[in-house]
Amino acid sequence: MSATHPGQPLTLDDIVHRYGSTLAVDHVTLEVQAGELVALLGPSGCGKTTLLRIVAGFIAQTSGKVVVGERRIDDLPPNRRDVGIVFQNYALFPHMSVAENVGYGLAARGTDKAAARQRVADMLELVQMGHLAQRQTRELSGGQQQRVALARALAIEPRVLLLDEPFSALDKSLRLDMQIEIKRIQRSAGTTTLIVTHDQEEALGMADRVAVLSHGKLEQFDAPETVYDRPATFFVNQFVGSANVLSGRLEGIDGERAWVRLDDGGALWQARAPRSPLAAGSAVIACVRPENLRLDAASPDDPATLGAHVELGMALGATLVHELRTGSGRPIKLSEPRSPGSQARAAATPVRVRPVAPEAVSLFAAP
Ligand SMILES: Nc1ncnc2c1ncn2[C@@H]1O[C@H](COP(=O)(O)OP(=O)(O)OP(=O)(O)O)[C@@H](O)[C@H]1O
Ligand SMILES: [Mg+2]
């Protein structure tokens, strides 16, 4: 058995991939640190699986480099890349026991039998499947199969672990268990990991950093909180979490702060300065998440508030949700923690709305 390789960095350097005329990956550069867990997040067809397949060596990219540690691995076949893979459709071998499945990669590498037996036992222990080592894999539950697949991927001590929608077949509670389990295993083994998901909670919850993709392009690569709180693009703001979208004009920028005059009712809101430079007077889109808006008792002429009326109010146990509509008919959603006895406001009630803080308002150039 080779020595463990905890903490090998993985670099995707300007990767482009075309399937015929389809541009599936569009100049993606991603530097994953040693031992880091990075989630690839994006809508269906944005190129997530394609990127994983390129790293695994199942397809050769049109251009760009894949580097693990110091070494470019593009010339290596999949079985020599030291990459562990759990693909959704990467089924277990049905005619083998749990232990045989986990030991498969070791046998293929000619690992010494006693060492392989020990490694299989250790891996099954890690995924808490030791007691089922002799079971046939077709006699396992979905979650158990998933754990065996993970043990099989980890058995070869991969330098990089690739997980493509590994929990998509699981129900919600099992999914959460598996997320925690993978995170724990990944931490203790220190394996550099790329996980593909289109479930944003999964991505935000598990990952050290999240790479958001759209149409093959990397939109943002940041810590989960940064992606959520400071989305780099309008796409990220819309795709991750939910956002109210208002149109307006940029009044001015002062350092970190900006001012936006909303088209709706002329309210003047403070906002976070846009990431890309915009001139005063530019048409902008202001995005605010529902939990970052407050219903205000301010006087109607307070320019920092936006006038609207309640369309629908719902007390959803722990949260109070209001659907509002502005004077021009634009819908606004607002949610807040609900305290005991508090009720939603009646339909047609006039209200004033303001953001909790300037940082809660993201500005983007209008398309
Ligand atoms: N073998 C193929 N031949 C041609 N086009 C392909 C092939 N595989 C994928 N594509 C196209 O490449 C793009 C990216 O596909 P990919 O499978 O990487 O998306 P994805 O992000 O994994 O999507 P999903 O969330 O649905 O799994 C899509 O437009 C898809 O239709
Ligand atoms: Mg996919």
Instruction: Write the CATH number for 340.
Output: 2.40.50.140
Instruction: Write the CATH number for 147.
Output: 3.40.50.300
Strand 350-355 and strand 293-296: pairing? Answer: antiparallel
- Ligand 1 pocket test, candidate residues 15, 17, 22, most atoms within 8 A of CB: 22
- Ligand 1 pocket test, candidate residues 19, 26, 217, most atoms within 8 A of CB: 19
Task: Identify the burial level of 38 via C-beta atoms within 10 angstroms of its C-beta, where 0-12 means exposed, 13-18 middle and 19 or more buried.
Answer: buried
Model confidence band, residue 3 (pLDDT cutoffs 50, 70, 90): very low
The pLDDT tens digits for 11-56 are 999 999 999 999 999 999 999 999 999 999 999 999 999 999 999 9
Residue nearest to atom 22 of ligand 1 (CA): 49
In ligand 1, the atom with minimum distance to the C-alpha of 42 is 21
Domain count for the chain, please give it: 2
Which residues form the pocket of ligand 1, taking CB atoms under 6 Å from any ligand atom? 19, 22, 24, 42, 44-50, 198
279 falls within a domain? yes
4 falls within a domain? no
In the predicted model, is pLDDT for residue 270 greater than 50? yes
In ligand 1, the atom with minimum distance to the C-alpha of 198 is 25
Give the distance (Å) from ligand 2 centre to CA of residue 55. 14
The pLDDT tens digits for 242-256 are 999 999 999 999 999
Helix (H, G, I), strand (E, B) or coil at 227: helix
In ligand 1, the atom with minimum distance to the C-alpha of 47 is 18
Give the position of tokens 């996980």.
195
Tell me the HSE value of 137 on the side-chain side, using a 13 A CA sphere. Answer: 20
5 falls within a domain? no
Pick the last residue of a domain from 210, 236, 262: 236
Both 227 and 95 in one domain: the answer is yes
Both 136 and 52 in one domain: the answer is yes
Both 201 and 331 in one domain: the answer is no
Both 125 and 209 in one domain: the answer is yes
Pick the last residue of a domain from 236, 262, 277: 236
30 falls within a domain? yes
The pLDDT tens digits for 303-325 are 889 999 999 999 999 999 999 99
In the predicted model, is pLDDT for residue 156 greater than 50? yes
47 falls within a domain? yes
2 falls within a domain? no
Query: Which bound ligand lies closest to the C-alpha atom of 164?
Result: 2
Across 5-14, 79-88, 221-230, which has the greatest mean pLDDT? 221-230
Give the distance (Å) from ligand 1 centre to CA of residue 58. 14
Give the position of tokens 């593909």.
196
Pick the last residue of a domain from 180, 208, 236: 236
In the predicted model, is pLDDT for residue 5 greater than 70? no
Domain coverage including residue 59: 10-236
Strand 192-197 and strand 209-214: pairing? Answer: unpaired
What span, in angstroms and rounded, lies between the C-alpha atoms of 221 and 213?
9
